[in-house]
Amino acid sequence: MTTRSQSWFAKTEVQPTAKLQLFCFPYAGGGAYIFNSWKSRFAPDITVLPIQLPGRESRSTEAPMDTLQDIVQSLVPAMAPYMHKPFAFFGHSMGALIAFETARQLYSKTGKLPVHIIISGKSAPHLPYSKKRLHDLADDSFTEELRLMQGTPEEVLQNAELMQIIMPRLRADFKVCETYVYQPGNPLVCPMTVLGGIKDFEVSTDSLHAWQQHTTSPMDVRMFEGNHFFIHEQEQEVISAVKNILSTSSPMGHAAAAHTAYNTSTLQPRFRQS
């Protein structure tokens, strides 16, 4: 396995008896660390592989990527050494968008698909991005917007030195979401489950249900108590739900169906910056 491939995935103790690998994609500003507690909770049946984006954690010396195209085009080849077992995707917010486009690109390039995609806290990709544009705000305004989102601890926001360190990656992550333009393509031929927070006023229930048009399989929407960061507020419940979802997936049966569908698919995902 190459160093290039390894750099995209946080250090994880691979479970030799695991039948499934779960790739976990973090939200904007987050890193692989947000899934640290998941690793032991899924062992030994599932190996959790958190995605480690450039510009943070062990990749802090690298420049962050600020377009979805750059992330996906670099990530897909790095996943090749991990494709020997069935796999699933979990992504929250920005991570859900990366997971979705990674699945499209992976399918287009290799014919492989996750046995299940779990989308969390993200509106369907074809819907217009209606949030305020943040990535190019002045530092003070950008910091105040982060405060309103309640996703960054106040002690971090008040630490000017620390903010200077993490602000480039935060801006890059917001730019990924704010400049993304969905390009129509065939729906994915794999099961999808969508998770949402009951008090998440950023993502409506209707926008969660709208993911149905991006899969040929029946789709389930599950709601949890909490706001946009319900995956932390209700971590035990979310992990239990993910375990249950994956336990009902059929890796071998789905893999065969996916490869058959690939032979007749014209899916060619494309990207464009706005």
pLDDT in tens, 31-55: 999 999 999 999 899 999 999 999 9
Enclosing H/E stretch for 258:
helix 251-262
Could you state, in order of their start, the residue ranges of all structural domains in the chain? 3-128+184-256
Report the percentage of the chain scoring pLDDT > 70. Answer: 89
62-83 mean pLDDT: 95
Q: What angle, 0 to 180 degrees and rounded to 10, lies between the N-to-C axes of helices 68-78 and 94-110?
A: 50
C-alpha torsion angle, residues 147, 171, 88, 119 (rounded to 10): 50
**End-to-end alpha carbon distance in the chain:** 36
The pLDDT value given to residue 267: 35
Please say whether the beta carbons of 31 and 53 come within 8 A. yes
pLDDT per residue as tens digits for the range 232-247: 999 999 999 999 999 9
Please say whether the beta carbons of 121 and 93 come within 8 A. yes
Instruction: Please give the mean pLDDT across all residues of the chain.
Output: 88
271: tokens are 């990207």
What whole-number distance in Å separates Cα of residue 208 and Cα of residue 125? 10
What whole-number distance in Å separates Cα of residue 68 and Cα of residue 55? 15
CA nearest neighbour of 115 among 238, 239, 257, 4: 257
- Which candidate in 93, 108, 120, 123 is catalytic? 93
pLDDT per residue as tens digits for the range 177-221: 999 999 999 999 999 999 999 999 989 999 999 999 999 998 999
| Residue 240 annotated among the catalytic residues of the structure | no
Residue 271 has pLDDT above 50, yes or no: no
**In this structure, how many other beta carbons lie within 10 angstroms of the beta carbon of residue 221?**
16
> 3-128+184-256 maps to which CATH number?
3.40.50.1820
pLDDT band at 258 (very low <50, low <70, confident <90, very high): very low
